[in-house]
Structure 1
Amino acid sequence: MRFFFYSLEHLPIHIHVRNSDGVAKFEVSPIRLIESHGMKTKDLLLAEALIEKNKEQIITKWHEFHRS
């Protein structure tokens, strides 16, 4: 499972997730699924749990990456 930002992102803070089955996008605060295509429910739940566990780091990296 890969978590990433695109260079020309916009608020609210969100993260993209990709695995071999599909893609998804999650808002980070509060954590909520914005959209998904092809990802299985179990993978979406795992992605959500990993985002929750790493939420502060994701927010910090977002600000570093986007200089905001």
Structure 2
Amino acid sequence: MQKAPLIIINVSNPVAFDGKGSIIILEYTDEDAAKKVAWKIARETGRSVTIRREDMCVIETIPATAH
């Protein structure tokens, strides 16, 4: 049985923690579910969110201004 490829959601906040930055990474195996969650995170936090494949190729980048 072949494992499902990972879809990675990356949320960056370069000014958090006294300017040292922070990164939140979530892993999904369903690309559609990952996109829904990424858009929700972008809307609710105002942060830029990047969705990548397991090989780190970008699927989609949601800009920080998305609401």
User: TM-score normalised to the size of structure 2?
Assistant: 0.30
Structure ranking higher in strand proportion: 2
More helix by share: 1
Which fold has the larger relative contact order, with Cα–Cα distance below 8 Å and residues 6 or more apart in sequence?
2
TM-score (norm 1): 0.30
- Larger Rg: 1 or 2? 2
